[in-house]
Structure 1
């Protein structure tokens, strides 16, 4: 019986031309529900869910240092030498293989990225790409474009050449405040 009365209420509130359609819901029933959804945020999480103890965790807020320069600046020469050494050690005895070169590029870029991060240049984010090209008497041009701060951001390249291929590593260091 209630269903038929709700249907009649809905049909009575049908859209009239030139007027805004009224709400389908009754205002008296929605008053309590609106108040329940007005609360923002959530209660602090307790660690007992994860570790068994009942400590509450508080998020630490850090103040801005207003520092615009890194403590340890990026040194091109050191990174270039390290990338060159990694390429030489990994590719010294390698021959070009089209099937294994994508995985080799990925592992080389991860190793160069890890070595660059271990050098401890603070406030920098890195992008490392490695390209392996077979020597077949062709020419190659590699181009990249960046939007960055010319005074703080930089890039370097390292190249290693064998009888069958050329490996090129590009390391971009972007300053992050």
Structure 2
């Protein structure tokens, strides 16, 4: 059972039940399948990449809502870049509760471009 804290109006949940916790491995499969579906056959062009990244982020956000992890809020990050033989590093930092919050990410690599997609999930107390 999840930890609860009592206030004058009753109780509220401060930890998700085990069955309701964000599952990174399950979400990674979803991210990977969406990237494969949207990016297979895609030809990199800067303007098209901007629109594609926004579209993928929206699809991922909607899919997270459908997966119904109660009381979780999501931040979705999608980066599409052209492969030119140069290195690229993408980083993120968050302040969160290590017991309840988590993330999942996946990458798609084509001949001329790459795409990374990350879903950050924070539990809303």
| Interval containing the TM-score (normalised by the shorter chain) | 0.7 to 0.9
TM-score for the superposition, normalised by structure 1:
0.63
State which of 60, 64, 75 in structure 1 corresponds to 2:23: 75
Quote how far apart the aligned CAs of 1:69 are: 1.6
Q: Which residue of 1 aligns with 2:37?
A: 89
Deviations 1:39-76 (A, max 9, x none): xxxxxxxxxxxxxxxxxxxxxxxx44332222311111
Q: Which residues of structure 2 form unaligned runs of 5+?
A: 1-8
More strand per residue: 1 or 2?
A: 2
SS in 2 for 1:130: strand
**Among 63, 76, 85, the residue aligned to 1:137:** 85
Secondary structure of the 2:62 match is helix
Alignment counterpart, residue 98 of structure 2, candidates 150, 155, 158: 150
Counterpart CA distance in 1 for 2:69 and 2:10 is: 20
Q: What are the Cα deviations for residues 107-152 of structure 1, in whole angstroms up to 9, with x where unaligned?
A: 0000011111101101100000100010100001111111111111
- What is residue 114 of structure 1 aligned with on the other side? 62
Taking structure 2 as the reference length, the TM-score comes to 0.87
User: Are 1:175 and 2:92 matched, yes or no?
Assistant: no
Cα displacement string for residues 10-58 of structure 1 (whole angstroms, at most 9, x for unaligned residues): xxxxxxxxxxxxxxxxxxxxxxxxxxxxxxxxxxxxxxxxxxxxxxxxx
**What count of residue pairs does the alignment treat as equivalent?**
115
Structure with the larger RCO, 1 or 2 (CA within 8 Å, 6+ apart):
2
Compared CA separation, residues 165 and 69, structure 1 to 2 (3 A): same
- For the residue of structure 2 that corresponds to 1:169, the secondary structure is strand
In the alignment, what sits opposite 2:107?
A: 159
